[in-house]
Amino acid sequence: MNDQVKRPGISPDYLTVNQVRPASVDEAKRLVGTDTSGLLIPYHTRIGDGIVPVHDPDNTHFHRLRRNVLNSDHKYHQRKGTGIHACIPWGTFERPTGQDLICVEGEFKAMSLSDPGAPFSTAAVGLSGFFGFHVKAVEGRPFELAPELVEVRHALRPARLHYLGDNDTALNYDFAIAATRLKSIVRTSVFLPRIGLDEPKGIDDCREQMGSKFGYWFQNILEQAIEVEDEMEPDTIALMLLRNQVNRLDRLMDSAKQKAVERIIKLAARCDETVADEMLSLVKKPLGIGKTVLSKKVEAARREWREQQQAALQDRLRPKVQTYFYNGSNYWRRNSDLRYTQLTGGENMLNHLAIEQGVGNEAAKVALYMIQSEQQVGFAGRVAGYQAGPREEGGRAYPRYRRTDIYRAQALRVLDRHQGCVGGFAWKESRPLF
């Protein structure tokens, strides 16, 4: 028995079987690249008839670490550069085929459901987050399931797939997005079992606190699970999940109710205005807050969210537009040889960004705006008869100027024979572009 490792709702013996163990700072740094001690969770899968370590990167056994930190949003850590994997508790591949499979956020939650030493256990796979069921997305390609989840589905051929989150996922729009995405990938029955807002937060907490009553309670929430139907939109899922929990809102303690208010406002802000209005009609009475007050808070949250999304998109696009410039009429691209290519017309630029930089249609419009506003220059053309870039002489390339002939309008100054050219004149400026 492992007396050192304890987790709610899991027997110490089963933690030992799954090779969960404490890790010092030195071991954590070596295996997952972080200077924090914690609990190491090794990942395994099946190849042929054997259970083998998940390798990522290369021949390195993949682990995640539950960090020994308090009040942190970053409790779990994996080595930088590694991919998304699903945690398969020990014994999963020996379970009967054709039964339900639970996909649950969190390795320990999956172990809690799978623990054969408990009076009730079932097949479960642990996900690293809401979207931990699929590998990292590649723009232009369909989502693909995490390889370990593919292996489990192939081995167990589950009749139904349950996607289980903590009780507060009823108030989280990203969970609704994830549910619709999972349905679109697996193309089989997907159900959402619900833990009540007034019940323990996670499924492992439920097992720990409910004891012998857990099995009956869990079978009941599986039977009452919400089905994700084909082509359902996240707004529809979000509304269904909220409606499912409305009667529990007035049972919450004051502090929990205040958190619920904040989450509902953020939830409604992500939804279509018609759906948001229906949400506020549902919650105004149990929350004891007028609809007008709630509506104003939702509108402010919606503005804030849009600003955050716009800023995040621009941050992602900025590295992709750094070599493009706009002089009020034409677009220019700086090539790897430091020469410049003229790209005319906004439509041509949109196509270029989509093909060369892999930027989607809507994002390409934002990128074009960023080039026009952040990469605007006052002059683009020849200086002293020379095109910007290296000059070739005797079969060798030499820098023509230390600065190019594309400049920001406010930085233009005067010709300087000595400051900026080799074999020709160039502009001198106080704020060089490059």
- Which of the pair, 298 or 388, is modelled with greater confidence? 298
3-state secondary structure at position 402: coil
Tell whether the model's pLDDT for residue 18 goes beyond 80: yes
Burial 389-404 (b: 16+ CB within 10 A, else e): bbeeeeeeeeebbebb
- Mean per-residue pLDDT of the chain: 86
Mean local confidence (pLDDT), 279-304: 96
Q: What is the pLDDT of residue 403?
A: 42
Number of Cβ within a 10 Å radius of residue 129:
12
pLDDT digits (tens, 9 = 90+) for 109-146: 999 999 999 999 999 999 999 999 999 988 778 999 99
Residue 425 pLDDT class (50, 70, 90 cuts): very low
Q: Is 20 exposed, middle or buried (0-12, 13-18, 19+ CB in 10 A)?
A: buried
Which of 374, 370, 432 has the alpha carbon at shortest distance from 403?
432
Tell whether the model's pLDDT for residue 311 goes beyond 70: yes
Burial 351-378 (b: 16+ CB within 10 A, else e): ebbbeebebeeebbebbbebbbeebebe
Mean local confidence (pLDDT), 303-320: 93
Report helix angle 291-321 to 273-287, nearest 10.
130
Tell me the percentage of the chain whose pLDDT exceeds 70. Answer: 84
Which of 84, 65, 83, 85 has the alpha carbon at shortest distance from 75?
65
Q: What is the pLDDT of residue 350?
A: 82
pLDDT digits (tens, 9 = 90+) for 152-195: 999 999 999 999 999 999 999 999 999 999 999 998 999 999 99
Residue 381 pLDDT class (50, 70, 90 cuts): low
For the chain, state the CA radius of gyration: 28
Say which residues have a Cβ less than 8 Å from residue 216's Cβ, sequence separation at least 6: none
Mean local confidence (pLDDT), 391-420: 42
Tell whether the model's pLDDT for residue 378 goes beyond 90: no
Q: What is the pLDDT of residue 295?
A: 97
Burial 283-312 (b: 16+ CB within 10 A, else e): bbebbebeeeebbebbeebbeeeeeeeeee
Q: What is the pLDDT of residue 396?
A: 55
Q: What is the pLDDT of residue 263?
A: 97
Residue 386 pLDDT class (50, 70, 90 cuts): low
- Which of the pair, 131 or 362, is modelled with greater confidence? 131
Residue 379 pLDDT class (50, 70, 90 cuts): low
Tell me the percentage of the chain whose pLDDT exceeds 90. Answer: 67
- Alpha helices (H) along 202-272: 203-210, 214-223, 234-245, 254-270
What is the reported pTM? 0.81
**CA dist., res. 168 & res. 175, Å (int):** 10
Number of Cβ within a 10 Å radius of residue 211:
11
Q: What is the pLDDT of residue 406?
A: 45
Mean local confidence (pLDDT), 264-278: 97
pLDDT digits (tens, 9 = 90+) for 34-48: 999 999 999 999 988
